[in-house]
């Protein structure tokens, strides 16, 4: 579903992605982790073309992201993305947040879009909040709305960029529950996250990045039980014993 081949990227003189290659098969969950500044967010933003990259190729469902002939908006409409800071549109009600792209991008009728939005809100347990504005919701609620907004486009895969890093600890669970449910239903997901419990539970593979490189790309159990590199060992010991 997602194929990343030999991707390199520079910010001026600094190389932020070094020859990165990995993939996510249909129905698979892959967790990307690594210390901050390791390039994991940059890599995931390359997947839907929010960040351009200088070398390599990324294809989603066989369509090249960097090909100038690719209709990027159309491709992005099929790839859902959930952000660290939710990025709900604060000037729109929850319902409008869910409806906007369905109508403007997919061309659904307003009634159809509202119905789809309501069903998804129900699913993330927020049906009664449809008329509220994002600023009136807690962080955990906002992130669940953001997931519903991504799902409303009926995406073929979902990208998560540290979806729980900006949340208060007591709200992380409600967001992870939704993500676990999606994973168990067979949604293709690429998740940048430090939630190792989530990774153990649903990830097929874990990709470990450091300094812009993919240092390890291993099946989940192998990664946790016996990380091959020193850097991954150090990272895991820090993150699991803090």
Residue from 58, 153, 171, 190 in contact with other proteins (CB under 8 A): 153
Binding of residue 133 to other proteins (CB under 8 A): yes
Residue from 26, 74, 127, 238 in contact with other proteins (CB under 8 A): 74
Binding of residue 90 to other proteins (CB under 8 A): yes
Kindly state the tokens that stand for 81. Answer: 């993305």
Contacting other proteins within 154-193 (CB under 8 A): none
Binding of residue 78 to other proteins (CB under 8 A): yes
Dump the DSSP string for 186-225: T--EEEE---HHHHHHH-SEEEEEETTEEEEEEEHHHHHH
Round to whole Å and give the CA distance between 234 and 231: 5
Map residues 26-65 to x or -, x wherever contact with other proteins holds by CB under 8 A. -------------------x--x-x---------------
Round to whole Å and give the CA distance between 42 and 17: 8
Binding of residue 105 to other proteins (CB under 8 A): yes
Binding of residue 85 to other proteins (CB under 8 A): yes
Residue 69 CB coordination number (10 Å): 5
Q: Which of 153, 79, 77, 155 is nearest to 116 (CA)?
A: 153
Contact positions vs other proteins (CB under 8 A): 45, 48, 50, 72-74, 76-81, 83-85, 87-91, 100-101, 104-106, 132-137, 149-150, 153
């Amino acid at each position: 579903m997602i194929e990343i081949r030999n991707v390199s990227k520079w910010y001026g003189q600094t190389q932020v992605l070094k020859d990165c290659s990995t993939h996510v098969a249909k129905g698979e969950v892959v967790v990307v982790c690594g210390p901050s500044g390791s390039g994991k967010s940059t890599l995931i933003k390359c997947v839907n073309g929010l960040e351009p990259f200088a070398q390599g190729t990324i294809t989603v469902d066989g369509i090249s992201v960097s090909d100038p002939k690719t209709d990027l908006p159309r491709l992005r409409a099929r790839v859902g993305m959930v952000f660290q800071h939710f990025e709900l549109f604060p000037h729109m009600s929850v319902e409008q947040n869910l409806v906007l792209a369905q109508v403007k991008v997919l061309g659904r009728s307003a009634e159809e879009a509202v119905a789809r939005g309501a069903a998804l809100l129900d699913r993330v347990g927020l049906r009664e909040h449809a008329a509220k504005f994002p600023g009136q919701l807690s962080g955990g609620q906002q992130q669940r709305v953001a997931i519903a907004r991504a799902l409303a486009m009926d995406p073929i895969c979902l990208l998560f960029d540290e979806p729980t890093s900006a949340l208060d600890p007591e709200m992380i669970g409600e967001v992870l529950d939704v993500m676990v449910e999606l994973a168990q239903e067979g949604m293709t997901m690429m998740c940048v996250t430090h939630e190792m419990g989530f990774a153990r539970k649903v990830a097929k593979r874990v990709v470990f990045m450091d300094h812009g490189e993919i240092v390890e790309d291993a099946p989940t159990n192998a990664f946790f039980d016996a990380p091959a590199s020193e850097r991954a060992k150090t990272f895991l010991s820090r993150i699991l014993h803090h």
